[in-house]
Structure 1
Amino acid sequence: MVTLEVWYDQEPENDFGPGDPPILIRTEAELNDFIDRVLDETKDHEAPAMIQAVNADDPRSAVLQVGLGQTKGFIGYGAADGGWTHGEGDPDERVEYIYMGNVSEVRASVEVSIDGVRQGLVEFLGTGRKPSVIP
């Protein structure tokens, strides 16, 4: 298992400062608790939350861009062999997510079930490598 360094904060204490410390996740239970926390905190928001995660044990780690909606989300894997999850949405349609107060758009075709996103994050926590939910 690796340690995940996760960047997520709906209400940063120092909005224009150097940033709040990342959240460190070391176990699957901590990861599931964190995902549940994000889903709970954002359940009434117009757009779902987005987080970033890296393998804290590897300074050259790929960055995961992760959307966490109530029923759907996505994972983008930022590396040479990177890619995105593939769902059944329209690739010409855009959906909005919120990352630290900023709107980000992704193609609707990258959205998969939230269970698929959870599975991908668990795999990344276990290996630090590209999750199998990304073809």
Structure 2
Amino acid sequence: MVALDIWYDQTPKDDEGNVVICVNTAAELDELIDRIIAETADHAAPSMIQVALSGVKRSPALEVGLGKQKGFIGYSSRTEGGWTVGDGDPNAVVDYVYMGNHSEVPASVEVPMSTVRRGLHEFLAAGARPSVVKSDELS
């Protein structure tokens, strides 16, 4: 198992002003996901988080949408990238918010939250591309 650094909002988490949240266990990850979904349940658009391996330079990273019913995972590393693949319209976009900034993703990357949660747990367990993300080789 690895440790994850997660960026969710701009509120400092420690005395040095860092906004990163460190997650070390599956229970901590579930607690954070549940907290974010609860805190943003009444927002016009769901939240996004950024996730990287703690203490790893040039870490692979996840961009994750956390909605009530659906979300997504985008993965990027030095050698590959990819997204979850759902059944939404690839020509439509869905709104998300990351640290107060509006973002749009194709509706086709949205999947059930159970799939998003499974992918985050896989990343915590192995630090590699989650199996729920379809890989795109980078040249």
TM-score, normalized by the shorter chain, greater than 0.5: yes
- TM-score by length of structure 1 reads 0.92
Match status 1:7 vs 2:14? no
Partner of residue 82, structure 2: 83
Please, which runs of 5 or more residues in structure 2 have no aligned partner?
135-139
User: Given that residues 87 and 110 in structure 1 are in contact (C-alpha distance below 8 angstroms), is that contact kept between their aligned partners in structure 2?
Assistant: yes
Partner of residue 69, structure 1: 67
Secondary structure, counterpart of 2:122 in structure 1: helix
Partner of residue 47, structure 1: 45
User: Given that residues 94 and 104 in structure 2 are in contact (C-alpha distance below 8 angstroms), is that contact kept between their aligned partners in structure 1?
Assistant: yes
User: Given that residues 11 and 19 in structure 2 are in contact (C-alpha distance below 8 angstroms), is that contact kept between their aligned partners in structure 1?
Assistant: no
Decide whether aligned partners of structure 1 residues 13 and 56 sit closer, same or farther in structure 2, where only a CA change above 3 A counts.
closer
Structure-2 separation of matches of 1:19 and 1:105? 28
How do 1:15-34 residues align onto structure 2 when only pairs under 5 Å count?
Answer: 20-34=18-32
**More strand by percentage:** 2
Identity %: 54
Instruction: Flag as ranges the 4+ runs of structure 1 deviating above 3 A.
Output: none
User: Given that residues 2 and 57 in structure 1 are in contact (C-alpha distance below 8 angstroms), is that contact kept between their aligned partners in structure 2?
Assistant: no
Q: Which moves more between the two structures, 52-61 or 22-31?
A: 52-61
Give 1:81 shift: 1.5
Secondary structure, counterpart of 1:82 in structure 2: strand
The CA RMSD over aligned residues, in Å, is 1.5
Q: What is the letter of the counterpart of residue 24 of structure 2?
A: R
Structure-1 separation of matches of 2:73 and 2:56? 19
Give 1:60 shift: 2.0
| Deviation string, structure 1 residues 84-107 (Cα, Å, up to 9, x no partner) | 000000000000100000000000
Give 1:62 shift: 1.2
Give 1:19 shift: 6.3
Match status 1:99 vs 2:98? yes
- TM-score by length of structure 2 reads 0.89
Please, which runs of 5 or more residues in structure 1 have no aligned partner?
none
Secondary structure, counterpart of 2:57 in structure 1: coil
How many residues end up aligned between the 2 structures? 130
Secondary structure, counterpart of 1:91 in structure 2: coil
Give 1:13 shift: 4.2
| Deviation string, structure 1 residues 74-128 (Cα, Å, up to 9, x no partner) | 0000122110000000000000100000000000000000000000000000000
